Amino acid sequence: MDYTNAINLILKEKKIIASPSSYISVWANWYKGKVPSFHRYYVYNGQKKIYRTRLSMKMAKQVCEDWASLLMNEKVKIVVADQEKMDDLLIDLDFWNKSNEAVEKGFALSMCALVVNVNGLEIVEDENGQGFIKSIQNAHLELTTHTANHLVPITWENGRCVECGFVTEDTEKTVIVIHALAEDGTYDIYKQVEYKNGSKEKEKPTVFHTGSKNPWFVLIYPRITNNLEIDSPLPISIFGNAVDTLKAIDVKYDSYNVEFLQGKKRTYVSSKLGEVDKETGEVKNSFDPDDTVIYQLPVGTSINGEDKPLIVNVTDNLRAAEHSQAIQDELNFLSKQVGLGVDYYRFEKGRVMTATQVISEKSDTFRNMKKHEGILEKAMITLMKSIMYASNTFTDIKFAEPDAVEIQFDDSIIEDKTTEKENDRKDVESGVMSKLEFRKKWYGEDEDTANEALKKAFGDTDLASRIATFGNALTQGQITYEEFVKQVYPDLSEAEQKAMAEELKEQGSITADALGGYNPLGNE
C-alpha cells in the first residue's frame, strides 16, 4: 500500500519521497519460501493438466539467517561508559533478539528499521487543536522493528535516509509514525491513528519534539549496490541477484523428490482400459486419473513403436547421485552470489548443511562480513546514542558519556586468527617473541598492564634475568656485592643499595629474603 499521500498530509508539505522498490514483494515471497507464480505448476498426464506444488528448500531464508548469525550474535558487544546499566536496558528492550531479526529481515527485503519509542507520554492540544507532548509521566523506552514493506523513506542525503515514515496495521486501525527534521535540525515525531470501518473518529495528529539531532531510527541493510534500480537510493536484498539460482535449486530439489516418487515405477495404460457408460457414453477409468504415476495413452498408441499390452510397468534406475551433484552445484553458485563464498553449503543425505570449517581471513565470506559490518556499526552507534539520549531526557535511567559508544563484532570464527595465535605461542616458547609482546597483541593490554599480569604469573622476568646474569659474576668473585646491587636494582637510591649490599654480605649468599622477598619463579 502507498502511504505517500497520508504522510504528505500529516507533514502538510510536499516532500520528494523515494518510490518504493517494485521488487520488495518478490523478495518477500522468496523469503517466505513459496512464490505462487513459480511453485505452483502442472504436469500433463496424457489426458489433462494435474496441478502440483513445487517443493522449496527455502534457501533465501537460510541465507538471511546465516548472515544474521554471523553479524549479530551473542558475542557482539556494545561498549559504553555505564556498561552494566546499558546491558540491563538492552535486555529490557529485547535488543539482541530484535537486532538479529532486523539483520535477517533487512537482508531479505532490502532493509529493516529499528525504531526508538518513548511510552507513557501525556498528549494535550494547543490553541490550534494540534496535539503535542506536554509532560512525561512514568515514561519508558521501547524498541520496534519495521520491515521494508512497512516503512517509507522520505528524504535521502548522501545515501543516508534522514527522514522516514513507519506504518503499523491491525484489524482495527492503521498507525502512521513519521520521524522528520524540524527547522532547528532536531527531530520531530508525528503520529496519526486512523481507525477502520468507522469504529472511531479519526484522531488528530500528535507531534513529539525530541530535541535530538540524532535520528531515533536506523535502517539495517546489506552493503550491496542496487543494480536492479540503478538510479534509486534504495538498497537491495542480499539475494536480489540470485533469484534465478533460487529457482534452479527448487526445480532440482523438486525433481530429486519426484525421482523417488516416480523413478522406481511408471505405469502406462491404454485409454481402452475403461468402462463406457451406456447412457452417457462417458469413459469411466479403472484407475485414478489424477495419479501422476499413471500415464494414459491415447487409443492406438504404442510404446517405442511396438505394440504393448493395455498396462505396461516400466522401472528406471534412480538418479540420486546426479540430482545431489546438481543441487550442490547450484548451492555453490548461490553461496557465491550472496557473499558467503563457494562451498558454504553442503547437500548431504537429502538436506542442506552449513559448512563447519572456520572461516579464513582471506575468504570471500570474511571480506563481505567486514563490508556489511561497516554499515551495521554506524547504525548501531547511532541507535545506542539515541537510546541513551532518550533515556537521559525522558526517563529516570541516566547514562554518563552518552556519545561514547564502541561496537565490538565477533571475529572468533576467523581461522587465520587461531592459527596466528598458535604460531605466536610457539615463537614465545622458542624465544623469538616475548611474553610481553604476546599479551599486548592477543589480550589487547597496554605495556604496564601486560607487565603486571606477567609479574603475577611468572615473576619479574627482567629482574630474574639481571639476577641470573650478575649473580654468576658475584659468585665467581668478578664483581662486589655493591656492584651486584647497582646492576640489579638501578632504580634504588644510593642508601637503599648500600643497605641491601651490606645485608647480602652478612648472609654471604643471594637469598629471596635479602632481595626483598622476590621469587623469580613466582612460587609460594
What are the tens digits of pLDDT across the range 372-384? 999 999 999 999 9
Same domain, 219 and 81: yes
The pLDDT of residue 524 is 40
Q: Which domain holds residue 452?
A: 436-524
In 182-325 the beta strands, taken as DSSP E runs, fall at: 187-195, 206-209, 217-220, 266-270, 274-276, 283-285, 294-297, 311-314
Same domain, 55 and 159: yes
Same domain, 144 and 15: yes
Question: Could you tell me if residue 209 is inside a domain?
Answer: yes
β-strands 266-270, 217-220: how paired?
A: unpaired
By three-state DSSP, how is residue 218 classified? Answer: strand
Helix, strand, coil share (%) of the chain residues, nearest 5: 40, 25, 35
Same domain, 104 and 231: yes
Q: Is the pLDDT of residue 308 over 70?
A: no
Same domain, 233 and 287: no
Same domain, 32 and 179: yes
pLDDT digits (tens, 9 = 90+) for 348-394: 777 787 765 556 666 788 889 999 999 999 999 999 999 999 999 88
The pLDDT of residue 134 is 52
Q: At what angle do helices 415-430 and 435-442 cross, to 10 degrees?
A: 170
Question: Could you tell me if residue 145 is inside a domain?
Answer: yes
Q: Any residues with CB less than 8 A from the CB of 399 and at least 6 apart, and which?
A: 80, 81, 82, 85, 86, 388, 391, 392
∠225-231-113 over CA atoms, to 5°? Answer: 60
Least confident of 86-95, 317-326, 372-381: 317-326
Q: Is the pLDDT of residue 520 over 50?
A: no
Same domain, 222 and 273: no
Residue 60 grid cell: 533465501
d(CA 356, CA 491): 55
pLDDT digits (tens, 9 = 90+) for 256-287: 887 776 665 666 665 555 555 556 656 566 55
The 3-state secondary structure of 339-406, one letter per residue: CCCCCCEEEECCEEEECCCCECCCCHHHHHHHHHHHHHHHHHHHHHHHHHHHHHHHCCCCCCCCCCCE
Same domain, 366 and 488: no
pLDDT digits (tens, 9 = 90+) for 457-495: 656 667 777 777 788 788 788 888 888 888 888 888 888
d(CA 299, CA 272): 6
The length of the chain in residues reads: 524
Same domain, 386 and 237: yes
Answer whether 392's CB lies under 8 Å from 399's CB.
yes
Same domain, 118 and 216: yes
Amino acid at 433: M
Answer whether 155's CB lies under 8 Å from 172's CB.
no
Same domain, 131 and 276: no
The torsion region of residue 498 among left (phi > 0), alpha (psi -120 to 50) and beta comes to: alpha
* Mean pLDDT in residue range 413-417: 60
pTM of the model: 0.70
DSSP letter at 146?
A: E
For the chain, the domain total comes to 3
